[in-house]
Structure 1
Amino acid sequence: MKIPQIQINITDIKMEYTVQDPVQKIQQPKASQSIEQPAAILEINTTRGKLKIDSSQARRDLGLIGPLESSKNFAEEGKQENLSGIKRRVTEGRQIMLQSGKEKGRSTIQNIAKQNHGPTRPGPYNIKFVPSIGSVKIDYTPGTTDVHIEQQAPKIEHKVNKPSIDYTPGKVSGTMVQRPDVDVMV
């Protein structure tokens, strides 16, 4: 006996796919930044120092005096010498007058001559500092310096740039090359 048989043939579908890949471009521009530092404000105020030097006494000690003072000193010295000369002559005249007589006349004049023209001893010897110590007077008033600084803050400006994104999506397209088929045979 024969058993009936069923035979089934299946043909699968055949497809061809075309794939277009997606494209994505991302660019990140750099941030833009500007920095500016203004200069600090600087003010300096000074007052001058004053130095006073008085060397007039030292110049006098060295004999360096002005013409007015020199003529005044010489006039005073001449006046004193004139008065001392008058005094000496008056004293000598009084001495001659009081001691004049027949026996003493010559001896009185000889004594007066010895007093005026005899050897004189010089004054004591000593060291003299010229100019004298402390004859130069110095007066100094110091100056002042005031410094004022005003700091300036930096100016910073920045801008963040957004990224640019360019995206092209991919595509998939398919074409059927072979249709599916089912054959049943008895």
Structure 2
Amino acid sequence: MNIPQLRMHSQMAQIQISQESGEQTIRQPKADVTIQQPKPEVSITTTPAKLSIDQSKAFADMNLMRIFQRNKAFAQEGQTSVLEGISRRVRQGNELMKLENEGSPIVNQAVQNAHPKMKTLGITFIPSLFSVKLNSQPAEVNIEVETKQPIINATPNKVEHRYERGNVAIEMKQYQDLTIEVIQLES
């Protein structure tokens, strides 16, 4: 018995896609900026320092004084000597009034009045210590600064944007196909 056979050949359809990429460029130019800084205003005021030196006591210690000061010193020294002499005479007079007491006041007074006091030897500093008087007032500095704000001008530039579209092409690379054959087989 002969049964015919069917033989089928099929071919699938194929699509071909070709693509061209798009291009895009973006550029941002720098902004135009100007900055100005005004100078600050500075004012400086100073009060000068003062120094006063008083050497009058040092000069007086070295016996170098003005005539009015010398007269005053001599008057003071004379007054002190007079008061010492008066007190010595009063003391000695009181001793003589009391002759009846023990001792010999006349001999003691004769020895005291005959020999002057011994001068003391020693180191003396001329002029005396701390005889020069210093008085100082420091200087004062006053600084005033008035700052000024900076002047800033900025102009931004627009973005430069360029875009080229891409393209997609779709084509049939291969069409579908179906072929059917009838084959007789011999037995």
TM-score range, shorter chain: 0.3 to 0.5
TM-score by length of 1: 0.43
TM-score by length of 2: 0.43
